[in-house]
Amino acid sequence: MATAAQGPLSLLWGWLWSERFWLPQNVTWADLEGPADGYGYPRGRHILSVFPLAAGIFFVRLLFERFIAKPCALHIGIEDSGPYQAQPNAILEKVFVSITKYPDKKRLEGLSKQLDWNVRKIQCWFRHRRNQDKPPTLTKFCESMWRFTFYLCIFCYGIRFLWSSPWFWDIRQCWHNYPFQPLSSGLYYYYIMELAFYWSLMFSQFTDIKRKDFLIMFVHHLVTIGLISFSYINNMVRAGTLIMCLHDVSDFLLEAAKLANYAKYQRLCDTLFVIFSAVFMVTRLGIYPFWILNTTLFESWEIIGPYASWWLLNGLLLTLQVLHVIWSYLIARIALKALIRGKVSKDDRSDVESSSEEEDVTTCTKSPCDSSSSNGANRVNGHMGGSYWAEE
């Protein structure tokens, strides 16, 4: 029985690590077991060290947000309080939970007659109730400050490492003598740290602030982890370092703009967002397809030729480009709204009501919601948080 059970497992293991899948023709795993400078050649078992490191990064994040980010937020005036609570009402709560969070005109008129409230006040209640489930600004500030710090640090490390790397100046060096390219200590730490960080994001995504683009970000993290892992195993790490650095350069700018937005430094937010938008468009729609994809699809084909994992990796890279186009569309919409309104108001994937709605809420809390209804409803405060927009 044990032998019979080992048969399918050994076949699966052999298929999973098939040399015909991972490596170019006439190259075997034994060829990559030989001596080399630095850390030798990449090994699949190196990936296992990522998981305890990801847990360590998550723990460092908790400490960072508690002892560094939170004091910084309080120092600049961000209050440690959640959104205002909607006044208790069993009928409206039942509609909100069981039927809809966005009642139409007909339902609003029916509730108005049932409760003897005017429609404006009911709209106000639903807006307050929607924002009641949203995280406070302090939480979002701490989350963004952690991401900003990591992206900035890893980008500085990456650009410093690549500056002295020959493939940064001549991208065809990514494929010369492939796959017999030794793994230096600097490259190893760069790769493993990036992979561990994205694994920590994958885990924390289920506890972090929920965004409208949750599914897109989940796919993005899966594609990123797959790309980093696969490119490490088959030693396409030189091209991988270029891709990681190219993405980090715009990521920290987005987080910086969000920090300015949460702190209500509108002019700084607008400036950073313009810089981020320009860098994003240039790197993701310009440099990435015409420099990175050009070398992974065409120059690598010319120098080393295609093989099974080559097709998979390029498929993932093309999937990443599709996500770039989607995000570019969302960023363009924000930029268009900024031109119309004169400021960056919110991301189309935001986790909080739009600025126009907030203005409506402020208005309604100064009139209909402040007046007492026939059933003795309590007064609702007329302050709402500023407009926020979500992460990339």
pLDDT at residue 14 tops 60:
yes
- Using DSSP's 3-state secondary structure scheme, residue 61 falls into helix
Share of the chain above pLDDT 90, in %: 40
Residues 6+ apart with CB under 8 A from 373: 115, 116, 117, 121
- Identify which has the larger pLDDT, 331 or 370: 331
- Identify which has the larger pLDDT, 204 or 133: 204
Q: What is the pLDDT of residue 346?
A: 52
Share of the chain above pLDDT 70, in %: 79
| pLDDT average, residue stretch 200-224 | 79
Give whole-number Cα distances, 275 to 177, 255, 268, 386, in Å. 38, 12, 11, 22
- CATH superfamily of the 90-133 domain: Homeodomain-like (1.10.10.60)
Cα–Cα distance measured from residue 390 to residue 220, given in angstroms and rounded to the nearest whole number: 15
Q: What is the pLDDT of residue 122?
A: 85
Query: Where are the CATH 1.10.10.60 domain residues in the chain?
Result: 90-133
Token pair belonging to 239: 């091209």
pLDDT at residue 245 tops 70:
yes
The tens digit of pLDDT for each residue in 333-386 reads 887 777 777 655 555 444 433 333 444 444 454 443 443 333 333 323 222 233
Q: What is the pLDDT of residue 392?
A: 38
- Identify which has the larger pLDDT, 223 or 255: 255
pLDDT at residue 389 tops 50:
no
Over the chain, what is the mean pLDDT? 80
Are 391 and 255 within 8 A, CB to CB? yes
Token pair belonging to 163: 């500056």
Residues 6+ apart with CB under 8 A from 30: none
Enclosing H/E stretch for 191 = helix 185-204
The tens digit of pLDDT for each residue in 175-211 reads 999 988 888 889 999 999 999 999 998 888 777 766 6
Backbone angles phi, psi at 188, to 5 degrees: -60, -50
Whole-model pTM? 0.77
